[in-house]
Amino acid sequence: MIAALAALDQASWLRLRAFAVKLAFVTLFAVVFSGARGHPLLGAMAFFLGWQAVFAGLQALLQRHPINGDVLTSWDETLAFIGLAELMRIAGAVAG
């Protein structure tokens, strides 16, 4: 894994940094939303991560990013958000 991170180019590093910032904001909004409205935290996380996946997919579509490019693109970000949203849905179902 460390070797794979070392092999990333500058554009991929920028994409990872942007993803980390978006993930931090999604987490913050989900915590505030679930606390203020009394919704389960994992459900709120799944909701906001799902919307981020939609926005990242639209960005990739409108900017015509290649699906299987040499660098990380918004398509990769879309799949990461979808995966995290589904993980939150499963964790929420297991937690009850």
Model confidence, pTM: 0.89
Tell me 38's DSSP state.
-
Task: Tell me the pLDDT tens digit for each residue of 9-49.
Answer: 898 999 999 999 999 999 999 999 998 888 899 999 999 99
pLDDT over 80 at 4, yes or no: no
Candidates 71, 55, 67, 66; CA nearest to 16 is: 71
Q: What share of the chain is helix, strand, coil (3-state, %, to 5)?
A: 80, 0, 20
Do the Cβ atoms of 35 and 74 come closer than 8 Å? no
Per-residue pLDDT band at 3 (split at 50, 70, 90): confident
Phi, psi of 2, deg, nearest 5: -65, -40
